[in-house]
Every structure is written in C-alpha cells, then in structure tokens.
Amino acid sequence: MSELFDAVDALVASRSPLPPPAERRRLRQAHALTLDEVAAALGVRRATIGDWEAGKTEPRPPQREAYARLLRQLTQLYPATESTGASQEDTAAPETFAEPRPTVPPAPVDTMPEAGSRAASATTPSAAPTTLDAPAPGVTATGPAPAGPSRPAPAARPLTNSRGPGAKTAPAHPPAVGDAYAHGPLLVLDADADRNVTGYGAGGLILDVPAKSLPALVEWTLTEARLGAERLHGSGKDADPLLVLTEAACERYGLPGQLSESERLSGRLAEGHKVIKQLERAGWQLTKRGLGPWARIYRPAQGSRRRCVQLCIPPWRALDTRAWGHAAQLEPAELARVLCLYATRVTTPVGSPAVTGLQLMTALNPPTRASEPDADGRRHREHRPGSLGTEPVDPAPCEAPDGHPVLAGLPRFHVRGPEEKLFEEAYDWARDLTDAECMRRHLVGIDVNLAFAAAANGAVVGLASPPVHVTNPAFDAALPGSWLVDLSHVDLNRVKVGKQWRDLDGDLLPSPFTPTGQRPEGPAWYATPTVAYAVELGYEVDPVEAWVRRESGRFLDGWYKRLRDAYVATMKDLGVGEKLPPHEFLEAMDGYKSRDAELGIVVDAVKMTVKGGIGKLREKARGGGWKPGQAWPALARPTWRPDIRAAVISRARINMHRKMLHLAAATDQYPVAVLSDCAVYAADGPSPLDVLPYRADGKTVPGSFRLGVSPGMVKHEGTQSVLWGANVLEQLAGDGHVANLARYIKSGEVTAKDTGE
C-alpha cells in the first residue's frame, strides 16, 4: 500500500500548481533573489529559470515540486494584492495600472526613495491580457487619467521593493497627478527573447516600452515616459532623462551588443552606422563625442524647453569598474536601484563619476540667472554672482600644465621647476622605521573620509575674473591665488601648535609644503592655503610675486554638502551612522559593504565623484593628434580651473599635516608613511584606538584625527605586522627610495608591478 501512496504523491507533485509566469518573476524579485541563486538551489541552469518566468517552458519533476514550494513560501511573504487585477491562477486577467506617487524623501537601505520614485498611471489598459506584478504599498491600481501629454502614459508595473525579511519600503503617499517626472530620473531597458522591451526604474517600477527603434525610443522618452529630475538650483536646468541599455536592449534597437576593438578605441560607433542614420533622418543630433558608451541625443531647444535624452550603455563599458564595481553585471532591476539612488542623492549621471562631479558643480552653482524685467517687461540671461560665469578663464602661467597655450613661448624641451610651476599635489611620502617603532608589533593605517570634499568645504576660490599679477605683495590669507615665496626656513622641529610653541622631532614628519614631504630648498609657487599654513606654524613669509584673484567666493560649498549628504545617508543605510562612539563606529564599519552590495557600489561611486570632479578641474590633453601649445577641448569650459583644483588639494594636504602635527605634539607618535588621505602609524595593538588617544568621555586630541563617518573624520584602512612592513621596505628598496607602506596597508599585497618583476 505504501508504494501506491508514494506513486500517488509523485503524481500529485508532477502537477504541483504554479502561479503564472509574471507572478513567479515578481515573487523572486520581491525577495531580492537572482536567477543564479534560484537556479543553484534547484540544480538547473540560469536560463531555465528565465524560461519558466517567461512562460516558455514549465518545470518538470523533481524540480517542479521544489519550485512550487519556493513560490508558496514567497507568496506568504509577499502576497499579491487585489489591485493586480488577477489571482495567481488567473492568467487571462486584463492589465491594470497604478497611479503615480509623489516625491519620496530619502529612505532606508531597502528603498529606492527619491524625487520621481513612483508608479505610473495610464488612460487605457493594454489590449494584451497579462498579469501584472503587485504594486508598491499604498499605490492604488486604477484611478483618473493623469494630466500631462495628450497621449496615454506608459504602462507601469510597480513592484514592492522588499529586500528580504524585515526590509522596509518607501512610505505611501497620495497620487501626484500630472508630475512631469513621475517615473523618476532614469530607466534601465532590457529586452526578452520576443523583443519586448521593459524599463526598470525607481522604487521597483517596471514600464512596458513600446518603441521599436532608437529614434522612436527617444521620442517616447520625451513625450510619454515622464522621466527626468528637478533642477538642483532655481537658476539651473532640470536633469535630462537617462536610458540605460542592456546588451539585449542594444541588439533590440539595432546597436551592437559589444563594441569592436576599433570602436572601443575611438569611443563611439562609426559615423555611417545605420542607427546613426536613423537618428539623422528623424531630426535628432548627437554631440561631438558621438554615439558611444555615454551619449546625448537631442534636438535644438524650443524656448526654455530642452529636448535631450542621455544614454548609458554598460556593455560598452560605460560603468567603469574602478568607480562602479560590478554594477554592469547586475540584473536590470538591481542596476536601476543603484543608479536611481545615485541619481537622487547626487545627480543623474551624464558620464563617468568625474564628468558627473564636474557637471554637479555647475548644476548647483549655475553661471547665469534671469534678469529683472527691462523697459519692455522682458527678461534675459545675465551673469550670476558667485558662479564661474559662461566664459573660460586662462590660468596664470605658473598654474598651467605643460603644453598649455599660455606657455607657448617656452623652449620646446624646457622643464619647469618649483620656481616656475605650481606643484600642489597630494602626499606620497614615507620614511624608514625608527628602532623604537621596529619594537612595536603592528602598523595601523587610518584613512580620511572624502578628504577632498572636506577640503572643498569653505574653500575661498577665484570666480569668473582672470588672475592679476603683482610683485612684492604682502601676503593675504583671504586672497585666493598662487604665491612665489621661499618657505625653506620653516623648521618643523619648533612650530606653533595652536597658540603655543612646541618642540617636535621634525625629521619624523613630512614637510607640509611639498607632495613628496621633502623640505623645500628655495622659492617655489604655492596656493594660498599652503602659505597661510606657514604663517599658522609661526613663521613670517615674504612673497616675491603672486597671481591673485580679486573676485572670490566659496564656490564649492553646495557641491560639498550635496556629496557629503549622499555619502552619510548611504553609509547610514549600511548601518554606519553619525556620532557613534569610537568602538561602535569600528564595529559598524566591519564588513559594512557586505550588508548590501548594491549600496556599497553607491558609496564607492560617491567617493569617485569627489576625486574625479576635483581632477577634472585640470583635465589634460588627450589623444594622439594634440601638440604642445595647442588648445584642447577641456580648455573651453568655464570649469577648467587648475587654480581651484590646486586650492582644494593644498587644503587637503594641509588638513592632513595639521592632524598629524597635533597628534605628535600630544602623544609623541609620528607617521611612517602618508599616501594622499591615508597615514600609517606603528602601534602596540592592531586597532586605530591603539593610535588615537580617546579618553573615557569619548573625546580625543583637539585638532587631530577623529574616528567617524563624516567627511574629514577617519576610518580604519588596514593593519599589518611590523615584520610585514620591514619585508616590504626591503623588497622595494633601491636608489635611496623608501617604499610607501600606506599603498599596501589595506590588503598587504605587493604586486609584481610594484616590485618590477
């Protein structure tokens, strides 16, 4: 009899009821499961799960019963609401649509909370009967037709953006009818085997994309998709909608899934490509960079209305792994989560994080504004005070990089030294360990959070006016510019720390005036913050000449605040909050990225936006056709400002030195290596708390390093043994060179490239 029961059980299992294909996909995504994870659990291929979710094939025993069990459990966690218009067994229910939601404020880890993070509505349902994914909490399934374009809005399928048990979702809000950017800043487009295109957006939003060609896609985006973002400044411009194309979406719209080697080297498709011809016939234009990994497709503006769509193509290497990690390998919904969070907390990306960081400066501090009405009651655009204006400004000769047109009169092979060229760069300094340091057990690295952003905060820089040359000037710390002055007399063995003179071992500290940490030997060009620090240390300065900027302001303050808030909010989502006691902060930082890998990508992208944005202020010539003395494209930007870059880097290096100085004065501890924003100390224990002298009340040395998440505070970079450090120094020794241990302290690995093998 038991054999009969087993046979009956097997027969029932072979027909285990399953929800319709669309519901299977909704349930998997609601629990943040990837196709690979489900496939591994069931012992099948990834493509098999995809076919089950697309309805192409049905699971068979023995996987069918296990798959049905999985879906039953997920259904209990994420039940379908009545607003889907279909039960799990009814695959022929008509499609219904959700009303748009208004702007959602930044929310915890598991939401995509931003302006434009909402569902859509439509005036008419699709003729094709399908079952939709469940809408997000608080979103109704049907409602009045929204105001806006005369054509129906696109079909929206909002998902509950849950990331697992205990995850939070965005709060419910009443519908916002007529919102021009109801669907958020961007969509990630993917295509299935039947060439149907789906757009994934903020908050788990899913849109059906009807466009059949790239010109039609651009037209649909501008007229029906309701994508974009509000301007960051009242005098600025709204962010253009961004479309992110997967490899399948590229092929659907006639683009290659991968660029050829020649196309990759040129950074664009060939001018005669059929898709480019389609765009031209439809009246669309491309910028000079053409149709590449990042592209802008536009028509001339009509009045104040921009008609522009940005493209991002990850399979063409648009998302550099140095900034975006493994983002290009994410599934469309996951990639949308990452990019939408970045877009809302920082800005809609328009290129690499460096390009986006520079664009953010202008978005937050626009060059023009609307004037007061003239006699005829008309307004026009005028220069906006506090901005960099609309015209580029030539740098002072000392600020110009080699090959700049202002240096055209120099001999061809002339090498400029410190007395001719401004060398304001980040630290790269190291020394040998002392005997006392060799007796300690550990080398501990501490790293400054967003050091360049912290240095940008409060920096007074030149604005739209060109530099003015003066001779024998009296130094003015409030006047931004470049100064030719001899600082070789500053003795780090005796300096002012606060208001008191202190005797220190200056040989164990890097010089604050050079990136190499070596003491200057004579007159050299310095940015204002560097010279001001010499005065702070108690020494007089006597400049020989200077290039100064009379029109000045704190141009980067808004930029700092925007990036600071984005970084701190995302770190909080990862469980690292502000104002944590030192021990709790170190515990929270331990493995913080593993809590949500996608949020970890956003954190790294914010960091690269800071570094890249500052670097772009002095973008160098690129390409084989350029010759010294010729202008290059970057020089045409008002934001090509090497003087501003120099001021920020100067402040970052001085901030680093000031903290090391205060720590040395209080504890007699000196760094053994400094690389940009990372300093390495010898210590008896492996923790930063074995370096930084925190008291029982949680306070540390005023003016020195403090543990915390805010920009300018420090985190643990890594710890290695002193024996490891001695081996690295011996391994990389040569020609009097001392290896910089800060370069390797995080991982402890020294590559063959570093050893020259």
* 26 and 98 co-located in one domain: no
Q: pLDDT band at 31, cuts 50/70/90?
A: confident
Question: What mean pLDDT, rounded, does the chain reach?
Answer: 85
Q: What is the largest CA-CA distance in the chain?
A: 108
Determine the pLDDT at residue 140.
30
* 105 and 52 co-located in one domain: no
Q: Which of 331, 400, 317 is nearest to 646 (CA)?
A: 400
In a domain, 242, yes or no: yes
Three-class SS state of 287? coil
Q: Who has greater pLDDT, 706 or 115? A: 706
Q: Which of 216, 230, 80 is nearest to 154 (CA)?
A: 216
pLDDT at 132 over 50: no
Q: Of 325, 351, 377, which residue is a domain's last?
A: 351
In a domain, 304, yes or no: yes
Q: Which of 81, 83, 103 is nearest to 173 (CA)?
A: 103
pLDDT, tens only, 728-744? 999 998 766 889 999 99
Residue 50 Cα distances to 34, 35, 495, angstroms: 10, 7, 68
Q: Which of 107, 99, 164 is nearest to 136 (CA)?
A: 99
Window from 74-88, 189-203, 687-701 with minimum mean pLDDT: 74-88
* 75 and 202 co-located in one domain: no
Q: Of 47, 63, 79, which residue is a domain's last?
A: 79
CATH code, 37:
1.10.260
* 96 and 238 co-located in one domain: yes
Q: pLDDT band at 45, cuts 50/70/90?
A: confident
DSSP letter string, 603-657: HHHHHHHHHHHHHHTTPPP-STT--TTS--GGGGSTT--HHHHHHHHHHHHHHHH
* CA gap 216, 282 in Å, rounded: 9
- Which residues make beta-bridge pairs with 494? 503
Answer whether 587's CB lies under 8 Å from 429's CB: no
* 140 and 28 co-located in one domain: no
Determine the pLDDT at residue 454.
98
pLDDT, tens only, 463-511? 999 999 999 999 999 999 999 999 999 999 999 998 899 999 999 999 9
Q: Who has greater pLDDT, 96 or 361? A: 361
Q: Of 335, 351, 367, which residue is a domain's last?
A: 351
* 35 and 150 co-located in one domain: no
* 73 and 94 co-located in one domain: no
In a domain, 35, yes or no: yes
Answer whether 185's CB lies under 8 Å from 241's CB: yes
Answer whether 401's CB lies under 8 Å from 620's CB: yes
In a domain, 92, yes or no: yes
Determine the pLDDT at residue 121.
34
In a domain, 173, yes or no: no
Domain membership of residue 139 as a residue range: 80-163+181-351
Determine the pLDDT at residue 723.
96
DSSP letter string, 300-340: EEETTEEEEEEEE-GGGT-S-HHHHTTGGGS-HHHHHHHHH
Q: pLDDT band at 13, cuts 50/70/90?
A: low
pLDDT at 164 over 50: no
* 65 and 110 co-located in one domain: no
Strand 294-302 relative to strand 305-312, pairing: antiparallel
pLDDT, tens only, 235-254? 999 999 999 999 999 999 99
If one counts the domains in the chain, the total is 2
* 103 and 154 co-located in one domain: yes
* 88 and 188 co-located in one domain: yes
pLDDT at 175 over 60: no
pLDDT at 285 over 60: yes
In a domain, 27, yes or no: yes
Q: Who has greater pLDDT, 663 or 137? A: 663
In a domain, 414, yes or no: no
What's the token pair of residue 663?
């720590």
Determine the pLDDT at residue 10.
61
Global confidence as pTM: 0.78
Determine the pLDDT at residue 3.
66
* CA gap 265, 261 in Å, rounded: 6
pLDDT at 24 over 50: yes
* 48 and 85 co-located in one domain: no
Determine the pLDDT at residue 695.
84
Cα angle at 187 between 186 and 192, to 5 degrees? Answer: 170
The mean per-residue pLDDT over the stretch 617-632 comes to 89
H/E element holding 728? Answer: helix 722-731
300's CB contacts (< 8 A; 6+ apart) are 285, 307
* CA gap 59, 47 in Å, rounded: 12
In a domain, 258, yes or no: yes
* 252 and 291 co-located in one domain: yes
565's CB contacts (< 8 A; 6+ apart) are 345
pLDDT at 756 over 70: no
Which residue in the block uniquely carries the two structure tokens 């939408």? Answer: 340
